[in-house]
Copies of this chain bind each other. A is one copy, B any other.
Amino acid sequence: MLGNCIENVRKNVPLVHNITNYVTVNDVANVLLACGGSPIMSDEPEDVEDITGICGGLNINIGTLNKSSIEGMYRAGRKANELGHIVLLDPVGAGASALRTNTALGLMNEIAFSAIRGNISEIKTLALGSGTTKGVDADLADAVTEESLESAVIFAKEFAKKTGSLIAITGAIDLVADADRCYVIRNGRPEMGRITGTGCQLSGMMTAFLVANPDARLEAAAAAVCAMGLAGEIGWSGMQDGDGNATYRNRIIDAIYNMDGQILDKGARYEIR
């Protein structure tokens, strides 16, 4: 089932417009190419509407926002809404600064997001209007664990209902929810946190999965999360003596490049609640 979602990406080659941070942008582009999509980056306000117009989806990531790119996010988001395109928000560092929190909340007020993907601290910040975030990583006190899982699932569904967006909360356990159903996903490895940008890569890839699977959006978002986590497992299994996070980064993107529907279906570990 989830395997179809990646096959559809490879079949449809969705063009994804990314307004994303300059830290991990190269990896976002390469993972989009790896999964079968096609990336284009543009943040200049006078450029973004045209670019969004030729794409199927828009990935907004506030990781290194600035005044000009924030205006670009609003313009591109509105245009994508007009065109009925997929729009995803990755609220990097929401809770870590007023500008990030306010930008994410402001965007949510004006733009209908198909999906919002972040760590638990970022998503809680959006839900509560404030929060504590340790930089761009989740606060340990917020972490989704087996103990807090049931309440986290309820939280994710409720926030999905309130926002009308798919909510993807990633961490040791990943949640992908709409108002009614929540995928609880246990793919991935803790060492992925030692690479910059696996979250940003996932947001780019999830946008492509959503564009290519218009009739199964929740499944598509869950498939993207499973694919990223599974790539982390496959990549880790190939690690040799002396390899570290730089090599691991490459192996994860390589694993996406080589992933087909069968591999994803076999490796995806999830339950639906």
Q: What residues of B have a CB within 8 angstroms of the CB of A272 in the complex?
A: none
- Taking a contact as CB atoms under 8 Å apart, the answer to whether A23 and B23 are in contact is no
Q: What residues of B have a CB within 8 angstroms of the CB of A24 in the complex?
A: 26, 29
- Taking a contact as CB atoms under 8 Å apart, the answer to whether A196 and B26 are in contact is yes
Q: Interface readout for A31-72 with B: 1 if CB under 8 Å, 0 if not?
A: 001100011111110110011001100000001111110000
Report if A137 contacts B (CB, 8 A): yes
| 27 A-B pairs whose Cβ atoms sit less than 8 Å apart in the complex | A15-B134, A23-B41, A24-B29, A26-B27, A26-B197, A29-B197, A33-B196, A34-B194, A38-B134, A38-B135, A39-B135, A39-B196, A40-B135, A40-B136, A42-B64, A44-B64, A44-B66, A47-B65, A47-B97, A50-B96, A54-B135, A55-B135, A67-B68, A244-B258, A245-B257, A246-B250, A246-B253
List 7 extra interface pairs beyond A15-B134, A33-B194, A51-B135, CB under 8 A.
A21-B41, A22-B25, A22-B41, A30-B195, A34-B244, A51-B97, A66-B68
Q: What residues of B have a CB within 8 angstroms of the CB of A33 in the complex?
A: 194-196, 245
Report if A4 contacts B (CB, 8 A): no
Report how far A228 CA is from B22 CA in the complex, Å: 24
Partner of A246, one of B25, B30, B64, B93: B30
Q: What residues of B have a CB within 8 angstroms of the CB of A82 in the complex?
A: none
Q: What residues of B have a CB within 8 angstroms of the CB of A245 in the complex?
A: 30, 33-34, 253-254, 257
Report if A98 contacts B (CB, 8 A): yes
- Taking a contact as CB atoms under 8 Å apart, the answer to whether B242 and A258 are in contact is yes
* A residues neighboring B (CB under 8 Å): 15, 21-27, 29-30, 33-34, 38-44, 46-47, 50-51, 54-55, 63-68, 93, 96-100, 134-137, 194-197, 234, 238, 242-247, 249-258
